[in-house]
Amino acid sequence: MSNYFDQVWQKLFPSKETVPLQMKENFTLKDKEVQELEGWIHSEAATSLFSLIFRNYHFKRTQINESPEVHLFTSSYANGFAISYESPLDLSSFSLLFLGLSRRVLALGYRQVSLDRKLEEINEQVKQTEKFYFKPPLQMPQEGEPITQLYGNISLEKVSINNTPSYIKLLAAIYSDRNYQEAKPFDELMDKLFEHPSHE
């Protein structure tokens, strides 16, 4: 019966069409987050977590899934991976891993272009994406010499659905412009991100 009354009410008092939520803003890390990261990045817990994910990445390449599961993205112009929010990750280590990966990208010589947060409503669920965007270092091009692009542009995202952590995704998109040198191999990027800690 309630459906009938709802339909009658809507015919009598039609509501304005609701626009799905969509918001995007730039933000900076809080001092507390930076301090927590500084205390964690060189810890035994961080080393152990990075090693576990790197191991699971290689397992995934042989069709073996371990927790937390790593998902692979491969194409001609972009390569990457995503890490599901699964044990042993918790709220704290999930956020620290996201920030720790950003530090390791910077340690490779990249420059941070932006850090933003986007909220969007999809199928009555609210998706929140925090995203770092990195570009290779600025260089003065030498005449006749192509510019190094390192591993391409890198985006790093932390995604939550309805305030519940979902996954972290890193994507390296290469330039196919003849002004740039060929991108370095993605496997090399993985080695450096997961085997060599940042020295900042």
- pLDDT tens digits, one per residue of 127-159: 999 999 999 998 777 777 888 899 999 999 999
What SS3 state is found at 24?
A: strand
pTM for the full model?
0.86
Mean pLDDT throughout 87-108?
97
Q: How far apart are CA 128 and CA 82, in angstroms?
A: 16
pLDDT recorded at residue 191: 96
Sign of CA dihedral 51, 101, 188, 64: positive
Q: Where are the alpha helices (DSSP H) in the chain?
A: 2-12, 31-40, 44-61, 91-106, 186-195
pLDDT recorded at residue 195: 82
Pairing outcome for strands 111-122 and 22-26 = antiparallel
Q: How far apart are CA 72 and CA 78, in angstroms?
A: 11
With a cut of 90, say whether residue 5 has pLDDT above it: no
With a cut of 80, say whether residue 10 has pLDDT above it: no
pLDDT recorded at residue 139: 77
* CA-to-CA separations, 84 to 9, 76, 119, 190, in angstroms, rounded: 43, 24, 20, 17
Q: How far apart are CA 106 and CA 97, in angstroms?
A: 14
Q: Where are the domains of the chain?
A: 22-195
Mean pLDDT throughout 60-74?
96
CB atoms near residue 117 (< 10 Å): 14
